[in-house]
Amino acid sequence: MKTLRRMPKATHPILSREFTVTPKYAFERLDHYLVRQQAHSSRTVLQRLIKKGEVRVNNRMVKPNYKIRPGDRVVCRIPTPTPLDLVPEPIPLDVLYEDPALIVLNKPAGLVMHPAPGHYTGTLVHALLAHCKDLSGIGGRERPGLVHRLDKDTSGVIVVAKTDSAHRSLSQQFKAHTIVRQYQALVAGRLRKGSGTIDLAIGRDRWERKKISHRTARPREARTTYRVIERFAAATRVEVFPRTGRTHQIRVHFASQGHPILGDRVYGGRSAVLESVPADRQMLHAERLGFIHPERKEYIEFSAPLPADMERAVEALRRFSAPR
């Protein structure tokens, strides 16, 4: 059954918000200022609204990079979230925690986050719509409640907002890089240092548009720290802490060092494959996630155990590395 269907166009209510710039924010970019004021969680959406004239300063149209001044009157007209047109699907979810504001899940490898070309059914969003009757719409029609994502073949902890206010709060925490994120990964080769930092700006690859790399026209700061947990004959088990949240960051960073994630054929090619180790996907798991609860204003943290396929890979690496 087709689960993505067109809805008739409708006029949706407009939320109007007004701000008066204080000296604290003098000469900040307008789009950055509006994100700080939580006018909307997405700077891209705000830039589009500014260009359309839905955001005005002192009743004048300006550009997203307009430098605001103390006393400027900023008025935003923001359309309310559009109704969802996806059909819920009763896909089982591994729920680690849930309350009226948010839900924390242990996402299995192989589950796509949201509808996209080639994946119009069976996504996490379809499962969430069946599980949550009051899911936030602020993330958009195809991404309701989503404030961050894990790649299809990355497993582990993910948080989803159930209310618009929770969505705004969590989005701000991710933008400020205050969210605690810890991964486990198996990488090809033996890392010599016990710990380290990979500081390499990345972005959309100039020649292979589906990939991320340092060969980009628009490099964005990206930093990853790691700590070695266990060394094997031909691989290393590491704890990974992404300090920024770029697309494919961990995978690209370790591949750039000559130590791609095991099983990651996209960024590692043949060097990411060991015949003795079963790895049908990249061996990357989001082990721990911590953040300030949007309503209770207290720090909470969740973890998910290493999935069975990574446990099998670790055991295979130990057997292969054992003295004979």
What b/e readout covers 301-317, taking b as 16+ CB neighbours within 10 angstroms?
Answer: ebebebbebbeebbebb
With vertex at residue 221, the alpha carbon angle to CA 216 and CA 227, rounded to the nearest 5 degrees, is: 115
Which tokens go with 85? Answer: 């047109």
Contact 269, 281 (CB under 8 A): no
- Secondary structure of residue 252 in the 3-state scheme: helix
Identify the helix (H) or strand (E) that includes residue 36: helix 30-36
**Dist. CA 85–CA 13, nearest whole Å:** 18
Of 31, 151, 153, 264, the active-site residue reads 151
Maximum Cα–Cα distance across the chain: 78
Q: Based on the residue annotation, tell me whether 199 is a catalytic residue of this protein.
A: no
Contact 180, 291 (CB under 8 A): yes
Instruction: Give catalytic residue positions.
Output: 151
